[in-house]
Structure 1
Amino acid sequence: MAAPMPTPTASAIPRTIQCTRRDTRLKYGIAMNCEIRSRAVAVSSSLSANGVRWDLSDLEPDAEQARREWDELLARARDFAERRRGTVGSSGPQGLRDLLDELDQLAQDVARVHFYATAREHTDATDPETNDLATLARDRGADLESMLLFVELEWLALDDVEAGALLEAAELEPYVHRLRVAREEKPYILSEGEEQALNARRPAISAWESLHGRELATLTVEFDRGDGPEPHTIDRLLSYVHHHDRELRLAALDVLYEMLESVADVQAACYDAIVGDRLSLDRLRGIPDTMWPTNQRNELDGAVVEAMMAAVEAHYALGRRWFVRKAEVLGLDRLQLADQYAPVGSDRRVEWTEAVGMVEDSLSDFEPRLGEIFRTCLERGHVDAEPRPGKVGGAYCNSVSKTVLPYVLLNYTDQLRDVVTLAHEFGHAVHGTLALERQTYRSYHTGIALAEVPSTFAQLLAVERLIDQEEDPSTRVMLLADRAEGAMASIFRQTMMARFEARAYAARSEGKALTRDRLAEMWIEENVRYYADSIELPEGYRLGWSYIPHFIHVRFYTYAYAFAHLAAFSLLARYREDPERFAPGYLEFLASGASRSPHDLLAPLGVDLRDPQTWALAFAEFDRCIGEAEEGVAAL
């Protein structure tokens, strides 16, 4: 077979995109025929988080050492496979425990070296050494997975009687839940040779994912927000939808959609390739439902997920009610999309040091240990908050291993809602830290739906604190409105995205290509189901699907946000009822990781996922938030 063609790095491809605007004089925006270049530039010297960047030395000292470690990891994996192959079902409970402990340590070392490459790729996408290292990580990761695949396959090959006897052994208690869940995949697993062949083509799919992210991360535009042109990333343009100046909001979205025009065909091609690959694998394995892989990883029954999403859609009118009221407050006949998150009341700038203090206090007041984790991560340089070209948008947390504290990435733009993002990501960080202290590496990480519950709960705690302590009545109204709108974004918009994905997968399974126009049509139709006539959607918003990374990395990821926000609403209501009684049980929930099912983990806290009334109670809390926002704007 021919050797694969090397993938050019972003920095090797000079890219200039022409961007035009209508011939009118604007207060904000860009000049006609401006150039958008993908070279690395400073975003703004005025942002307070400038210089807040990751220190990756807890992962690796440099790329050369990372390359050496990949070689060492491959050697360890080969040795492990030679010694352990054929012993999963024959070595007894203690032998299997020893095998899993050794595999657990190997997996942590792989995660550390792999995240070093990912972290560099996500913060400096145009650096040639970084791109080479990311390519190596994808290739070596696939090699290692193929070498170690036999463990899972041998476990699944055991008959139910043999497996059941091992699951009853005390020696395997730390792993028993994950082992039990893994056997749910047994009907869909292929032979070892077939599974290895499928793993071997994974780097090619990862390259599509990297291309999608790199196209967005390297895209900048000279945009004038009123005080002179400055280079803007997508994230910085999106931050203006929260600005008080309507003309700036409209101009920023106008420019954003023009930027997306230049990459929409590439983004559609990436998504088409990734969805097509996933559907091909589903057919090979005999998986009947495109949502099953995500539901299974989340340990949620499909009926529970569908009941939750149907309940969300049944409450879309809550969002529309607020949008109509907000239009009245803003003096508009109807909101445009750029007005959806326009501040009601008075916003204020929050510099990075103030945000750090707010989040630390919020976590420490709930439990001092949580504040300690937050402070230590900051002191060790495990937070990257500076927005800059070449850095991925959005925010995330990676809990690397039992010996390395989590790393948090966000793009801090000095707004109050950025404080909420910081709290959200550290909800993940404290969850990961406490779970890794007690659980094995294999058993600490929950599915994405449950993983979003602690982060959303931490976010809600921070917002409640901000509201309670805010002295300015107008700013307090802004916080009330922002809390309601944040919930709408997490619950309503993320469910809408999941429905969009379902349509995309259905179309692709029928042999229809996911072109930019087909995706745009489905995107607008699903948005209209949510917004109806409460918000006017601009023509450019047809490309709103093209910058959503969740579609690329994990199918149907977005419903996890709706699930988590509704679950967190229920938890917050119970916390308010009796804080002292709630806190110990919640800490136990965090430390339990993925040692039990989501149902069993949430039940002691009063959330029954199998009871449809659970969603009704959560929406009552949601309605309370919207009602408080409505009362707030009425008092302005």
Structure 2
Amino acid sequence: MTFPALPAAIDEIDAREWASFEPYFAELMERPLTHANARQWLEDWSALERILWESFSWTYIQKSLDTTDEAKEQAFLDFLNNVYPEAQRAAQVLKERLLALQITPEEMPDMTLVLRDMRSEAEMFREENIPLQTRLAELGNQYDKLTGGLKARWNGEEKNLSQLAVFLNDRDRAVRQRAWEAIADLWLGIRPDLDKIYREMLELRRQVAANADFPDYRAYAFQERGRFDYTPEDCFIFHEAIETVVVPATRRILARKRERLGVDVLRPWDWIPERGILVQTGDGEPLKPYDSQDDLIQHTLNIFNQLDPELSRYYATMADENLLDLDTRPGKALGGYCSSLPWRKRPFIFMNGVGLHDDVQTMLHESGHAFHDFESYALPFVWQANPPMEFAEVASMSMELLAAPYLTKKNGGFYTSAEAARARIEHLEGIIVFLPYMAVVDAFQHWVYTHPDEAMDPANCDAAWDDLWQRFIPDVAWGELADTRMTGWHRKPHIFSSPFYYIEYGMAQVGALQVWRNSLTDRGGALAAYRYALSLGGTRTLPELFTAVGAEFRFDTAMLSELVGLIEETIAELEKA
């Protein structure tokens, strides 16, 4: 039996049916495997995985683009139900065959970490977990569909959440309050539905962990996410450093906001952590950097051309091949992401732009992920291109900071010099005030999955979230709006669909700030280190990747004090500009 020819393009394969993939897996299972032919066998398996992963990504992208299209949703669900479980089973067989060879680091030095990860995955695999994981993915889709369909009337027009969020940035406090309350009412209206989804998710995850012989889902998730280089205790150290260093810095920012607004207290529509919105108090209306998707693309392309011609070429490729879908519209899923299409070796960027500066930041952020994909596609095996998520976010967050000096119109960007200074202040303030919110999201999930019986009652989840909110989120008066504060965990999709995936953003932000710090004295060197580290994909450990990009993998009080100090100094300088 010879390895069948793989299709030239993804549309040549029916991603809804396991029969489309099964012959390729069958050949790999039956082919004799020896040390002599292991590399060719791996190359064939890697090529197959590229098609499989792209099939998943593409069906997910398509249903995200229009959550009202039942055919696209069904194609995604068919993949989840018909292909994903069988692919997991087949991959387990192949992993066991490969691991039985006991390949040494000397034989395949470039596969050392991949084999470590495969060994961990093989140890965790349980046949009985496959239907549970499929159901979890279905519940995640329910969350996306439910929240993506939320709409409210605004001045006689129907608006989705992304469109309503535009008014959360309005300089008129009454407009902000009205928009915030409209959005809050929409979320509270689906509170019972979200509680029901989450309860079922908790039951399933508890069973998944038990089936795999873990004491709780947190222990399972840490191994599943490949957290070989830090522990839950390290997360708590990070939380405490944020409480010690960043919460006081946040208070200083909020005090300036109160003074400039001329108010005694801030209200929830003045600072909305889950949306990264902090009221701006400078002169003029909120920044409106672009008028259309084409305008956003062109100015972003100009910025990247100033920063690095090769990065600009990557971005132009995505634009030319229609791999950017950036505007919000009714029925489009919430949020933004970059998804790799590893068969064609291209990334796809999805976002919900509404013409505000936050969209520019999202565009730069997701482009950083895309550059990571482009730089690592040259690695021979698909698994090597998967970096730890803690470092994947360094790629995106660093790009937000590295591109900042080129936001001005004279560099082809969006703003006058004064507007660019405003944008940079907004971004830097946002970094500081994000970290306490990140700590809430992460600490909440530590509580949930180590208190599984208590967490089954949504009221206990509300109370645990509220306790953490009071600890980390200072100086906002909620008054009679406590229900919306306590159910803030509903509004963070990661908590539902990607448990424990959030501290990565905080760790990566610390790494990205170090890249930015380095760029202030050696821009060329910092950019070269950035691109080199991205090209390594997942072929180095997490601390080694931080070292490659010119950063230290540590999150203590001393590190945060240095970086927060640099941010505050830079904000002070920009305010004088």
Structure 2 length normalisation: TM-score?
0.88
- Which amino acid is the alignment partner of residue 231 of structure 1? E
- Counterpart CA distance in 2 for 1:361 and 1:489 is 30
Deviation at 1:489, TM superposition (A): 4.6
Which range is displaced more, 230-239 or 410-419? 230-239
- Counterpart CA distance in 1 for 2:374 and 2:415 is 34
Hey, what does 2:505 align to over in structure 1? 561
Deviation at 1:444, TM superposition (A): 0.4
Q: Does 1:175 align with 2:111?
A: yes
Which range is displaced more, 255-264 or 529-538? 529-538
Hey, what does 2:230 align to over in structure 1? 301
- Which amino acid is the alignment partner of residue 95 of structure 2? E
Task: Map residues 128-277 of structure 1 onto 2, 5 A cutoff.
Answer: 128-139=70-81, 140-155=83-98, 158=100, 163=102, 166-170=103-107, 172-184=108-120, 188-189=123-124, 195-224=126-155, 229-277=156-204
Q: Does 1:513 align with 2:477?
A: no
Deviation at 1:118, TM superposition (A): 0.8
- Which amino acid is the alignment partner of residue 549 of structure 1? P
Deviation at 1:421, TM superposition (A): 0.6
Deviation at 1:426, TM superposition (A): 0.5
Hey, what does 2:54 align to over in structure 1? 112
In structure 2, do the counterparts of structure 1 residues 631 and 458 end up closer, same or farther at CA, with 3 Å as the change threshold?
A: closer
- Counterpart CA distance in 2 for 1:457 and 1:468 is 21
Deviation at 1:311, TM superposition (A): 1.7
Q: Does 1:344 align with 2:281?
A: yes
Hey, what does 2:263 align to over in structure 1? 332
Give the SS at the match of 1:232: strand
Give the SS at the match of 1:108: helix
- Is residue 491–residue 566 contact of structure 1 (8 Å, CA) maintained in 2? no
In structure 2, do the counterparts of structure 1 residues 336 and 588 end up closer, same or farther at CA, with 3 Å as the change threshold?
A: same
- Counterpart CA distance in 2 for 1:241 and 1:620 is 32
- Is residue 174–residue 440 contact of structure 1 (8 Å, CA) maintained in 2? no
Task: Map residues 545-624 of structure 1 onto 2, 5 A cutoff.
Answer: 545-609=489-553, 616-624=558-566
- Which amino acid is the alignment partner of residue 456 of structure 2? A
Hey, what does 1:13 align to over in structure 2? none
Deviation at 1:276, TM superposition (A): 2.4
Which range is displaced more, 199-208 or 346-355? 346-355
Give the SS at the match of 2:532: helix
Give the SS at the match of 2:537: coil
Give the SS at the match of 2:21: helix
Give the SS at the match of 1:349: coil
- Counterpart CA distance in 2 for 1:98 and 1:620 is 49
- Is residue 174–residue 439 contact of structure 1 (8 Å, CA) maintained in 2? no
Hey, what does 1:422 align to over in structure 2? 363
- Is residue 387–residue 538 contact of structure 2 (8 Å, CA) maintained in 1? yes
- Counterpart CA distance in 2 for 1:442 and 1:259 is 41
In structure 2, do the counterparts of structure 1 residues 429 and 598 end up closer, same or farther at CA, with 3 Å as the change threshold?
A: same
Hey, what does 1:319 align to over in structure 2? 250
- Is residue 402–residue 436 contact of structure 1 (8 Å, CA) maintained in 2? no
In structure 2, do the counterparts of structure 1 residues 582 and 478 end up closer, same or farther at CA, with 3 Å as the change threshold?
A: closer
- Counterpart CA distance in 1 for 2:206 and 2:322 is 40
- Which amino acid is the alignment partner of residue 349 of structure 1? K
Q: Does 1:356 align with 2:291?
A: no
In structure 2, do the counterparts of structure 1 residues 244 and 283 end up closer, same or farther at CA, with 3 Å as the change threshold?
A: same
- Is residue 393–residue 411 contact of structure 1 (8 Å, CA) maintained in 2? yes
Q: Does 1:544 align with 2:474?
A: no
- Is residue 250–residue 433 contact of structure 2 (8 Å, CA) maintained in 1? no
- Counterpart CA distance in 1 for 2:9 and 2:26 is 26
- Which amino acid is the alignment partner of residue 479 of structure 1? A
Q: Does 1:502 align with 2:439?
A: no
Give the SS at the match of 1:338: coil
Hey, what does 1:392 align to over in structure 2? 333
- Is residue 408–residue 417 contact of structure 2 (8 Å, CA) maintained in 1? no
- Is residue 567–residue 618 contact of structure 1 (8 Å, CA) maintained in 2? no
Q: Does 1:75 align with 2:23?
A: yes
**197, 201, 205: which is aligned to 1:278?**
205
Task: Map residues 49-64 of structure 1 onto 2, 5 A cutoff.
Answer: 59-60=10-11
Deviation at 1:385, TM superposition (A): 1.1
- Which deviations, in whole Å up to 9, do the C-alpha atoms of 1:382-432 show, x marking residues without a partner? 011121222111110011105241110001111122111101000000101
Task: Map residues 409-448 of structure 1 onto 2, 5 A cutoff.
Answer: 409-448=350-389
- Which amino acid is the alignment partner of residue 325 of structure 1? R
- Is residue 340–residue 348 contact of structure 2 (8 Å, CA) maintained in 1? yes
- Which deviations, in whole Å up to 9, do the C-alpha atoms of 1:91-124 show, x marking residues without a partner? 4333322222221111111112222211121111
**46, 64, 74: which is aligned to 1:122?**
64
- Which amino acid is the alignment partner of residue 268 of structure 1? D
- Which amino acid is the alignment partner of residue 487 of structure 1? I
Superposed CA RMSD: 2.6
> Aligned pairs, how many?
550
Hey, what does 2:36 align to over in structure 1? 94
- Counterpart CA distance in 1 for 2:505 and 2:61 is 23
> Tell me, which stretches of 5 or more residues in structure 1 are unaligned?
1-56
In structure 2, do the counterparts of structure 1 residues 293 and 321 end up closer, same or farther at CA, with 3 Å as the change threshold?
A: farther
Give the SS at the match of 2:377: helix
Give the SS at the match of 1:398: strand
In structure 2, do the counterparts of structure 1 residues 280 and 400 end up closer, same or farther at CA, with 3 Å as the change threshold?
A: same
Hey, what does 1:66 align to over in structure 2? 14
Runs of 4+ that moved beyond 6 A: 467-471
Deviation at 1:627, TM superposition (A): 4.1
- Is residue 209–residue 552 contact of structure 1 (8 Å, CA) maintained in 2? yes
- Is residue 487–residue 622 contact of structure 1 (8 Å, CA) maintained in 2? no
- Counterpart CA distance in 2 for 1:628 and 1:523 is 33
In structure 2, do the counterparts of structure 1 residues 298 and 379 end up closer, same or farther at CA, with 3 Å as the change threshold?
A: farther
Give the SS at the match of 2:352: coil
- Is residue 222–residue 232 contact of structure 1 (8 Å, CA) maintained in 2? yes
- Is residue 307–residue 403 contact of structure 2 (8 Å, CA) maintained in 1? no
Which range is displaced more, 103-112 or 297-306? 297-306
Deviation at 1:565, TM superposition (A): 0.8
- Counterpart CA distance in 2 for 1:299 and 1:464 is 36
Deviation at 1:522, TM superposition (A): 2.1
- Counterpart CA distance in 2 for 1:204 and 1:107 is 22
Deviation at 1:293, TM superposition (A): 4.4
- Is residue 409–residue 416 contact of structure 2 (8 Å, CA) maintained in 1? no
Deviation at 1:155, TM superposition (A): 4.9
> Tell me, which stretches of 5 or more residues in structure 2 are unaligned?
1-7, 272-277
- Counterpart CA distance in 1 for 2:319 and 2:559 is 37
- Is residue 257–residue 541 contact of structure 1 (8 Å, CA) maintained in 2? no
Structure 1 length normalisation: TM-score?
0.80
- Counterpart CA distance in 2 for 1:200 and 1:426 is 35
In structure 2, do the counterparts of structure 1 residues 300 and 168 end up closer, same or farther at CA, with 3 Å as the change threshold?
A: closer
- Which deviations, in whole Å up to 9, do the C-alpha atoms of 1:35-94 show, x marking residues without a partner? xxxxxxxxxxxxxxxxxxxxxx97438xxx63577532133223333x14xx6xxx4333
Deviation at 1:247, TM superposition (A): 1.1
- Counterpart CA distance in 1 for 2:520 and 2:570 is 16
Identity of aligned residues (%): 17
Deviation at 1:473, TM superposition (A): 6.6
In structure 2, do the counterparts of structure 1 residues 354 and 189 end up closer, same or farther at CA, with 3 Å as the change threshold?
A: closer
- Is residue 69–residue 113 contact of structure 1 (8 Å, CA) maintained in 2? no
- Is residue 496–residue 530 contact of structure 1 (8 Å, CA) maintained in 2? yes
Hey, what does 1:103 align to over in structure 2? 45
Hey, what does 2:321 align to over in structure 1? 380
